[in-house]
A and B are shown apart, each in its own frame.
Chain A
Amino acid sequence: MSSENVRFTDFKSDKQPTWCPGCGDFGTMNGMMKGLAETGNSPDDTFVVAGIGCSGKIGTYMRSYALHGVHGRALPVGTGAKLANPDLEVMVAGGDGDGYSIGAGHFVHAVRRNVDITYVVMDNRIYGLTKGQASPTSRPDFETSTSPDGPKQPPVNPLALAMAAGGSFIAQSFSSDALRHQEIVQEAIEHDGFSLVNTFSPCVTFNDVDTYDYFRDSLVDLSEDDDYDRHDYDQAKDAILDADKEYMGVLYQDEDSTPYHEAHGVTENMSEIPDGAPDGATDLVREFY
């Protein structure tokens, strides 16, 4: 399919989402679809991976090649797909539970590896699909069915985790700010390396603290700050570790980082193979003389 004629609705499936009315995931997904279309991708060449949770359903509602995998392992699947066929646009979607709890180990290593994929985390600071338990990004005093007095532990700071792991593109967006979210996703797609977009995607059913109003009132948009330089590591570090404010925008980008495919020379589409053993295979036997 010629990517010139692709519209964002081409990335939309005919399946109606079963997310709760008003769920932040609608806006998050729309921005992903628009970002993919705007960057010249087509559904035929796009591979979307999702894990488990409300976020995991996204592959059903989008139209592209997709795998809805097991809980917490979406990043390794995306990594394998991208390395096997670098021509694919690989987008991994997940929630805060999928990415920062059960999949936290993979998250850190995916950041380190710097494979050229985009990771959009629909962060609603709650476990929605299982009807309201604390997530790794829940506030310490957030009362839930499994934490009646709050989890009493600091939330994970995913942006700091990414920075500590050597992240080359660290961003945060808000599903309700459709234009900014889409712009940030687009930049993430265009970044040559691993891109994290932590997207606040409010749960209207189970989270009455981290609401649309909360994010609308509290988020500071870095694009409006002329003094903020996303390439400045120290400035980014301060913003990411700021205990008083939460930011929206691309907090850090290292455009000189070496993406995995360059570091390892992985550039070929591996799906095509000959009808017999590859040329030169007999040399492998000779090695054993």
Chain B
Amino acid sequence: MHDDLNWAIGGEAGDGIASTGKIFAQALSRAGRHVFTSKDFASRIRGGYTAYKVRTSVDQVQSVVDRLDILIALTERTVDENLDELHENSVVIYDGDRTEFSDFEAPGEVTGLDVPLKDLAEDAGGAIMRNIVALGAVCAVADFPIENLDESLEKRFGGKGESIVENNKQAARLGAEYVEENYDDEGPRYSLETTDEDYVLLNGDEAIGMGAIAAGCRFYAGYPITPATDVMEYLTGRIEQFGGHVVQAEDELAAINMALGAARAGARSMTATSGPGIDLMAETFGLVATSETPLVVANVMRSGPSTGMPTKQEQGDLNMMLKGGHGEIPRFVVAPTSVAECFHKTVEAFNLAEKYQLPVYLTADLSMAVTERTYPPEEFDMDEVEIDRGKLVDEDDISTWQNEKDQFKPHAVTADGISPRAVPGTEGGVHMSTGLEHDELGRRTEDTDVRVEQVDKRYQKVDTAREREDFDYREFGDSDADNLVISWGSNEGTLVEALGYLDEDDPDVRVVSVPYIFPRPDLTEEVEAADQVVVVEANATGQFADVIEHDVLERVDRINKYDGVDFKADELAGEITETLA
């Protein structure tokens, strides 16, 4: 469990922190080690501090921990920022020529290795390679064969020509040799075992993008926003190879409406955004639901409200996704619980959207979206991908869904609530759809019976989905435990690792991780069987906890009226009497 190594590189924004971190993460992955990365932005001090952290082990790693074993500190502040995580066996690599560690009062016996990163980089061909020299030094400290860096250097610099690649390889070797020659009396402090496993390394946003292509998504419209932009950047240049297209819209309003237009035209279509964009999209989201259009809207959550903390983690949009928007519409909310699940649940979201002809929120949170994680490639088996387009009809069966005047019924009332869907170009399927309440033909109506029929039909789809789909939870820990811990989103991996920290004397815990927020598994039995129930989520008010409590509580009867006509006193008296009887 604790046979892991925690590494970081930190410096100023613009120091190439992320790309250096990625090179090291890839090298570890190629060497058959599992990797979990995280990005650290300024926290205690304002300014441009940034760090990239890598946790690695031969076993799966799925969380960060509060411990740092090797740190490349390009600035003094990097040490300050990480003092709490350094320990007596930590090694800090720094360049004494660039950084004065005059007040570097290392805790315990932290070892500082002064390596002339810039000078050695210049020897290899240019000062720009000083981070690569540092990576070489890390290889020496961690007893990690330097050759393992080569492949990721080729991947990173291959496009810039062979000499650049060779210079970087040389820079890494100079860093390693310097440590070996000048600090050889102490030998390597760590040992990074390699294996024959082949892993892929990707983050949640990339997994969503890859899942979208796998699912046949061919149209994406979006507006750049942290931390969802990676989805758009991933798709750009790739989706075209599969006959698709990405549009950078003028705003989120345009983005969702373009995606809606593409979906009306029959394409599997999506947009991705974060909280502020979700707010802007809310009105059209209602139109998507009312017009019964299949659409996937990815919400990569960040800290809110308003502009909030755009580069920080939060799971604060659950209420918005479940309830946001005026009026009442069925919408599904699917929340993958890991990077790999971002892929699988994206594929599923597209199928759900088309099977039930409604909008699906696919929600990841920041830490999962920007976290790179290793998996065996089989985890993303494209042969396993199944496409279900639901009740999409063609010319041959269109007559089944026409009225006596040969008019197509896009909102036909059916037992399962799902209507046939004809896309433009389908002969005989001509119809309109509208955000106004409408009849089966898609035409405006204020008829009270038709209104109620259409509302009920739209909600029937939710009941149908509950019957047909397997909206299950994922379970970890002791299934017979007295205590139940419930989680959603990216907390799953951290909770699973946290279980490993619990001792025999600690309470026993059953962890339930819920990827389906709506429709969701019924947890009533699990909750009632537990002595104590705790819901873990990255927000202030416990939005999912409210949902769980709502599900378990059955105290309130309801009288509802939604035909557009006022309650009437005598009618209401009758209904109250009937309900209370």
> Measuring CB to CB, which residues of chain A are less than 8 angstroms from any residue of chain B?
1, 14-15, 43-49, 59-60, 63-70, 72-73, 75-85, 87-88, 105-106, 108-109, 264-266, 268-278, 280-282, 284-286, 288-289
Instruction: Tell me which residues across on chain B come within 8 A of A43, comparing CB atoms.
Output: 430
In the assembled complex, the CB of B122 is this many whole angstroms from the nearest CB of chain A, namely 32
> A68-B433, A85-B267, A280-B242 known; A60 and B444 CB under 8 Å?
yes
Instruction: Tell me which residues across on chain A come within 8 A of B198, comparing CB atoms.
Output: 289
B173 within 8 A of A: no
Instruction: Tell me which residues across on chain A come within 8 A of B265, comparing CB atoms.
Output: 47, 80-82, 84-85, 88, 270-271
For the complex with contacts A47-B424, A80-B269, 14 further pairs of A-B residues with Cβ separation under 8 Å are A43-B430, A45-B425, A46-B424, A49-B261, A64-B430, A69-B260, A84-B266, A84-B267, A85-B265, A85-B267, A85-B425, A270-B266, A272-B266, A284-B210
**Is B269's CB under 8 angstroms from A271's CB?**
no
**Is B262's CB under 8 angstroms from A83's CB?**
yes
Residue interface bits B193-224, CB-to-A below 8 A is 1, else 0:
00000111110001000100111101101000
- Chain A, residue nearest B266 (CB): A271
- Chain B, residue nearest A58 (CB): B432
B382 within 8 A of A: yes
From the candidates B291, B405, B423, name the one contacting A14 in the complex (CB within 8 A).
B405
**Is B431's CB under 8 angstroms from A1's CB?**
no
> A47-B265, A67-B261, A84-B265 known; A76 and B427 CB under 8 Å?
no
B435 within 8 A of A: yes
A274 to B268, CA, bound (A): 12
B250-280, CB < 8 A from A: 250-251, 253-255, 257-269
**Is B386's CB under 8 angstroms from A275's CB?**
yes
A65 to B441, CA, bound (A): 12
Instruction: Tell me which residues across on chain A come within 8 A of B244, comparing CB atoms.
Output: 270
**Is A84's CB under 8 angstroms from B269's CB?**
yes
B241 within 8 A of A: yes
- Chain B, residue nearest A14 (CB): B405
> A15-B443, A109-B254, A284-B238 known; A84 and B383 CB under 8 Å?
no
Instruction: Tell me which residues across on chain A come within 8 A of B386, comparing CB atoms.
Output: 275-276
**Is A65's CB under 8 angstroms from B435's CB?**
no
Instruction: Tell me which residues across on chain A come within 8 A of B377, comparing CB atoms.
Output: 285-286, 288-289
A72 to B240, CA, bound (A): 29
A273 to B250, CA, bound (A): 28
From the candidates A60, A265, A281, name the one contacting B385 in the complex (CB within 8 A).
A281
9 tightest Cβ-Cβ pairs between the two chains A and B: A80-B261, A271-B266, A273-B216, A76-B257, A80-B258, A288-B200, A84-B262, A68-B434, A66-B432
In the assembled complex, the CB of B85 is this many whole angstroms from the nearest CB of chain A, namely 28
Instruction: Tell me which residues across on chain B come within 8 A of A280, comparing CB atoms.
Output: 241-242
Tell me how many residues of B have a C-beta within 8 Å of chain A: 72
In the assembled complex, the CB of A106 is this many whole angstroms from the nearest CB of chain B, namely 6
Helix, strand, loop or mixed for chain A's interface?
mixed
**Is A60's CB under 8 angstroms from B269's CB?**
no
A278 to B249, CA, bound (A): 26
In the assembled complex, the CB of B253 is this many whole angstroms from the nearest CB of chain A, namely 6
- Chain B, residue nearest A87 (CB): B425
Instruction: Tell me which residues across on chain B come within 8 A of A68, comparing CB atoms.
Output: 432-436
**Is A278's CB under 8 angstroms from B30's CB?**
no
**Is A106's CB under 8 angstroms from B254's CB?**
yes
**Is A67's CB under 8 angstroms from B213's CB?**
no
In the assembled complex, the CB of B280 is this many whole angstroms from the nearest CB of chain A, namely 11
B429 within 8 A of A: yes
**Is B258's CB under 8 angstroms from A76's CB?**
yes
Which of A44, A82, A268 has most B Cβ within 10 Å? A44
In the assembled complex, the CB of A15 is this many whole angstroms from the nearest CB of chain B, namely 7
A260 to B160, CA, bound (A): 32
A288 to B216, CA, bound (A): 20
**Is B218's CB under 8 angstroms from A63's CB?**
no
B459 within 8 A of A: no
A284 to B379, CA, bound (A): 13
> A83-B245, A275-B387, A288-B202 known; A59 and B434 CB under 8 Å?
yes
B225-241, CB < 8 A from A: 238, 240-241
**Is A44's CB under 8 angstroms from B385's CB?**
no
Which of B30, B199, B382 has most A Cβ within 10 Å? B382
**Is A285's CB under 8 angstroms from B210's CB?**
yes
B408-457, CB < 8 A from A: 423-436, 443-444
A272 to B247, CA, bound (A): 19
A282 to B269, CA, bound (A): 21
In the assembled complex, the CB of A100 is this many whole angstroms from the nearest CB of chain B, namely 15
Instruction: Tell me which residues across on chain A come within 8 A of B241, comparing CB atoms.
Output: 280
**Is A277's CB under 8 angstroms from B434's CB?**
no
B243 within 8 A of A: yes
